[in-house]
Amino acid sequence: MNKKLGVSGAVVNFAAVFCFALSMLFGFNYGSYFSSMFIAFSFVLMMCGYAYFAEKEAKLAGYVSVAFSAIYTAIILLVYFAQLTTVRLNDLTQQASVLLDFQECGLLFNYDLLGYGVMSLAAFFAGLTIKPQTKTDKWLKYLLMIHGVFFISCLIIPMLGIFKADSPPWIGVAVLEFWCLYFLPISILSYLHFSNYRE
């Protein structure tokens, strides 16, 4: 069962990241919001898998990755559920729109970046749980740990106010498509990683 949950998390994560990338390319915002929620759900399964299968000396890193993944998921679900419900279904005042509408690059946009920063920390600590036995595991470990670098940019960018509502949209799309290209191999390698365990 534990192996199946890890494998399932990796499969759903791949599908969700792929759908997110497609939605961004075609400008389907609500598709990207919906798929982002499933990136979060599946990411928790993956992080729990890393913690469960970690060797004794790496268990703490696994627990830390689970804790950060839970924080990330809580933030992301609040942001995107608000977009799919409150923002989509109501006529917001201008001030409410500035705060709540993701496209306005306001409060919830900044929370979103914070969430992905925390996700990066979870990935970093998950990387510490892997004791590579194969080339694919080696690649997975490095990709997860290097992903931790995104924490710095995700934390600092909102404080600098770089993204504004009137910023060229292609910049945000390009950044997110790059992230998708980076993260899809993590999903695939995670699937292979969990598949190799025997219970």
Task: Check if the beta carbon of residue 30 is closer than 8 Å to that of residue 84.
Answer: yes
Q: How far apart are CA 32 and CA 24, in angstroms?
A: 6
Task: Break the chain into its structural domains and give their ranges.
Answer: 2-195
Q: How far apart are CA 180 and CA 190, in angstroms?
A: 15
Low-confidence residues of the chain: pLDDT under 50? none
H or E, element range at 165 = none
What pLDDT is attached to residue 160? Answer: 86
What pLDDT is attached to residue 199? Answer: 66
What pLDDT is attached to residue 99? Answer: 87
Q: What is the pTM of this model?
A: 0.92
DSSP 8-state secondary structure symbol assigned to residue 166? T
Q: What is the pLDDT of residues 147-179, one digit of tens each?
A: 999 999 899 988 887 777 677 777 878 989 999
- Nearest CA to 172 out of 100, 80, 102, 83 is that of 102
